[in-house]
């Protein structure tokens, strides 16, 4: 959600900013803008909609008109005020001396705006960001130094912010500051770049500095200096970035989503590497820092997440309750934070977030931490905000996920939950007779995932036939109810087709009224568990109402062909591990349907990759 880039150096400033913004598009946005500094002037260009609209505006300018020695850029996902040019960033102070871009939300902006209005300031936009620009402009008039003005106004801001600021009167420097919103500084050679996420930096440098909360950095062409709000110097901690360019390239795939679906077997392979050495040896999970004794004593687990991560958490609950026997609740973070919950120091809270920037999940973790719970964070971004509140961080190591629709991060989260549940059971000394065969099967999962992917062409054909339907019902039972929910979410997100998931047994308690020949029912059927026959019965009930039946199954029973119109077969797998395989056909179905319908697969409308507002 929103993206920031700032650049100072000898390269073409406009190009660096636009490339940087392009690499951040995946986070979701609905307007964009840049401010270019040239010889005591700040020129601002903005456009609503796709980045191409801004690019077209810039392309129409002469080289002279867009000449710049530094600049800041932004893509905005509207929160305060709709997606208009006036509301788009950068924003200027009322006298035009200061230009800023901002990620995050200033919670007390109304109060601050009122104060400024009382002083005679007149605002142009509805944004909280413009208030910050005016505030810095106001303070600058008093102190005549951009860094000091920023240091003075920061304590007045409540909320989350990553700010990138330029001043007409102070050429040659960009001032940046952050709190609870990501901001990274890329240290180049005779050039420096700042951004809200690493993809925008990767083509300039691999040396980076992570800014901590309320540290103010003065970024010049040849230097970066950091101070706290009191002016105390902070040493630069330059780190080597591990992410390769490949991670943010499509590598020949038509969309990032397809590339990311195909990356899953290798991600799982890498995650398993070194964890399961021998099926009879306890699993190695050194990142779990809670002492074995404390883990043994735990009587309760709470899993908190949103969206796809929540579905992974729901599967985690089945695993922990089945293998460890410890009561486990799963709750959307957005519900957890607004009720009187009973988390306490005896609770283990597992927060799952791909981005590590989801505001609801971060707030939930903070609240749980305040109540004394032990916090494990499962994330794909160990450098993200949420990890600040973690006692243990489990990095799912899926590599940067660019497509808004989560795929590879989901299977990586799942695998991490399988590993954790086994580890937990081993520490508790329970289910020990079952664990060797589960471990053995886990090791076979990457090859089986590859087998599922090898039927992609067949799934694509089936998807084409299904793309004419407007409504779907997804059903599942047990460990595959969350799989069905995830399948339905994927379809909704990227094809805008209505798909609702229900526990298969619930169909007859209401949703069955919806069914007719225009409403296909998609199920997951894994033999070897009582739920198999029960789910088939539920499908029969749907068929009796005229619904077309589609199933994803590991059964090779030919009889199924009599009942089902479409069968997608996956390799033989136990019920417990089946979510790792069954989700892939769901991802592919959603992908191909969206592609057939000509939708924007990687950047679906209204969605953002990381949702940084509650
Ligand atoms: C996934 O396809 C979605 N875009 C969305 O539901 C996502 O999973 C949710 O917003 C949570 O994000 P997080 O994992 O980064 O916290």
Question: How many angstroms separate the CA atoms of 26 and 405, rounded?
Answer: 10
- How confident is the model at residue 120, as a pLDDT? 96
Question: How many angstroms separate the CA atoms of 49 and 40, rounded?
Answer: 30
Give the HSE-up count for residue 332: Cα atoms under 13 Å, Cβ half-sphere: 7
Structure confidence at residue 133 as a pLDDT band (50, 70, 90)? very high
Q: In this model, does residue 528 exceed pLDDT 90?
A: no
pLDDT tens across 247-271, in order? 677 888 999 999 999 999 999 999 9
Q: Summarize the confidence of residues 134-156 as an average pLDDT.
A: 97
- How confident is the model at residue 1, as a pLDDT? 65
- How confident is the model at residue 602, as a pLDDT? 92
Distance 492 CA to ligand 1 centre (A): 13
Q: Summarize the confidence of residues 195-208 as an average pLDDT.
A: 91
Strand ranges for 188-250 from DSSP E: 191-195, 207-210, 216-219, 224-227, 233-234, 239-240
- How confident is the model at residue 289, as a pLDDT? 94
pLDDT tens across 310-323, in order? 999 999 999 999 99
**Which residue in 44, 54, 132, 39 sits closest to 90, CA to CA?**
44
**How does DSSP classify residue 528?**
S
Structure confidence at residue 244 as a pLDDT band (50, 70, 90)? low
Question: Is 2 considered catalytic here?
Answer: yes
- Of 309, 405, 601, the one to substitute when testing ligand 1's pocket (max ligand atoms within 8 A of C-beta) is 309
Residue nearest to atom 2 of ligand 1 (CA): 405
Distance 606 CA to ligand 1 centre (A): 13
Structure confidence at residue 611 as a pLDDT band (50, 70, 90)? confident
Q: In this model, does residue 56 exceed pLDDT 70?
A: yes
Q: Summarize the confidence of residues 391-403 as an average pLDDT.
A: 94
User: Of the given ranges (22-36, 208-222, 251-265, 416-430), which has the lowest mean pLDDT?
Assistant: 22-36
Q: In this model, does residue 27 exceed pLDDT 90?
A: no
**How does DSSP classify residue 512?**
G
- How confident is the model at residue 243, as a pLDDT? 63
Question: How many angstroms separate the CA atoms of 211 and 213, rounded?
Answer: 7
* Closest-lying ligand 1 atom to the alpha carbon of residue 404: 4
Q: In this model, does residue 515 exceed pLDDT 80?
A: yes
Structure confidence at residue 609 as a pLDDT band (50, 70, 90)? confident
* Closest-lying ligand 1 atom to the alpha carbon of residue 379: 14
Q: In this model, does residue 570 exceed pLDDT 90?
A: yes
Mapped onto helix, strand or coil, the DSSP state of residue 155 is helix
Q: In this model, does residue 467 exceed pLDDT 90?
A: yes
- How confident is the model at residue 370, as a pLDDT? 95
**Could you give the angle at the alpha carbon of 398 between the alpha carbons of 367 and 269, nearest 5°?**
125
Q: pTM of the full predicted structure?
A: 0.81
Residue nearest to atom 4 of ligand 1 (CA): 405
Question: How many angstroms separate the CA atoms of 133 and 98, rounded?
Answer: 7
Residue/partner pairs of 287-293 with CB below 8 Å, 24 or more apart: 287/392, 287/393, 287/394, 287/395, 288/376, 288/392, 288/394, 288/420, 288/423, 289/391, 289/392, 290/348, 290/374, 290/376, 290/391, 290/392, 292/427
Output the average pLDDT for the chain: 94
* Beta carbons within 10 angstroms of residue 141's beta carbon: 12
Mapped onto helix, strand or coil, the DSSP state of residue 595 is helix
pLDDT tens across 398-433, in order? 998 999 999 999 999 999 999 999 999 999 999 999
Q: What residues line ligand 1, using a CB cutoff of 6 Å?
A: 306-309, 353-355, 358, 361, 404-406, 493, 607, 610-611
User: Of the given ranges (38-47, 270-279, 370-379), which has the lowest mean pLDDT?
Assistant: 270-279
Q: In this model, does residue 465 exceed pLDDT 90?
A: yes
Question: Is 562 considered catalytic here?
Answer: no
Distance 309 CA to ligand 1 centre (A): 6
């Amino acid at each position: 959600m929103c993206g920031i880039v700032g650049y100072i150096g000898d390269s073409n400033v406009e190009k660096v900013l636009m490339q940087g913004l392009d690499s951040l598009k995946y986070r979701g946005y609905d307007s964009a803008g840049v401010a270019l500094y040239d010889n005591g002037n700040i020129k601002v260009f903005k456009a609503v909609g796709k980045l191409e609209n801004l690019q077209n505006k810039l392309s129409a300018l002469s080289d002279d008109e867009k000449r710049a020695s530094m600049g800041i850029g932004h893509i905005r996902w509207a929160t305060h005020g709709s997606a208009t040019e006036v509301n788009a960033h950068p924003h200027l102070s009322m006298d035009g001396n200061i230009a800023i871009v901002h990620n995050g939300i200033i919670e007390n902006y109304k109060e601050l705006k009122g104060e400024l209005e009382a002083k005679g300031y007149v605002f142009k936009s509805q944004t909280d960001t413009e208030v910050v620009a005016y505030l810095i402009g106001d303070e600058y008039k008093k102190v005549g130094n951009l860094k000091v003005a920023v240091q003075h106004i920061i304590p007045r801001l409540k909320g989350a912010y990553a700010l990138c600021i330029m001043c007409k009167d102070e050429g040659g420097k960009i001032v940046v500051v952050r709190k609870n919103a990501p901001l990274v500084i890329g240290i180049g050679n005779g050039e420096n770049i700042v951004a809200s996420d690493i993809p925008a930096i990767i083509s300039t440098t691999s040396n980076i500095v992570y800014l901590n909360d309320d540290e103010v950095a003065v970024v010049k062409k040849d230097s970066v200096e950091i101070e706290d709000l009191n002016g105390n110097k902070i040493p630069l901690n330059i780190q080597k970035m591990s992410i390769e360019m490949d991670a943010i390239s499509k590598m020949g795939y038509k969309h990032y989503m397809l590339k990311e679906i195909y990356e899953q077997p290798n991600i799982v392979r890498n995650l398993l590497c070194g964890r399961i050495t021998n099926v009879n040896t306890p699993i190695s999970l050194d990142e779990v820092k809670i002492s074995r004794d404390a883990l043994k004593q735990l009587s309760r687990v709470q899993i908190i997440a949103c969206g796809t991560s929540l579905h992974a958490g729901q599967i985690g609950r089945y695993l922990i309750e089945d293998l460890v026997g410890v009561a486990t609740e799963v709750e959307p973070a957005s519900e957890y934070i607004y009720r009187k919950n009973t988390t306490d120091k005896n609770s283990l809270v597992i927060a799952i977030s791909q981005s590590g920037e989801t505001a609801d999940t971060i707030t939930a973790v903070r609240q749980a931490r305040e109540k004394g719970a032990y916090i494990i964070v499962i994330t794909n971004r160990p450098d993200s905000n949420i990890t600040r509140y973690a006692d243990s961080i489990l990095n799912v190591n899926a590599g940067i996920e660019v497509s808004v629709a989560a795929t590879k991060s989901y299977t990586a989260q799942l695998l991490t939950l399988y590993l954790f549940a086994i580890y937990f059971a081993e520490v508790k000394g329970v289910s020990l007779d079952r664990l060797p065969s589960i471990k053995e099967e886990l090791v076979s999962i990457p090859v089986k995932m590859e087998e599922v992917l090898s039927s992609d062409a067949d799934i694509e054909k089936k998807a084409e036939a299904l793309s004419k339907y407007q409504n779907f019902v997804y059903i599942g039972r047990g460990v595959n109810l969350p799989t069905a929910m995830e399948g339905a979410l994927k379809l909704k997100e990227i094809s805008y087709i209505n798909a609702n998931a229900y526990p298969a047994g619930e169909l007859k308690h209401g949703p069955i009224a919806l069914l007719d020949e225009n409403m296909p029912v998609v199920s997951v059927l894994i033999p070897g568990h009582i739920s198999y026959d029960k789910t088939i019965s539920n499908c029969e009930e749907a068929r009796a109402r005229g619904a077309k039946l589609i199933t994803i199954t590991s059964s090779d029973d030919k009889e199924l062909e009599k009942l089902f119109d479409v069968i997608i077969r996956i390799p033989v797998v136990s019920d417990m591990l089946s979510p790792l395989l069954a989700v892939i056909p769901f991802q592919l179905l959603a992908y191909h349907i969206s592609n057939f319908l000509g939708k924007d697969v990687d950047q679906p409308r209204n969605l953002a990759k990381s949702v940084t507002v509650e």
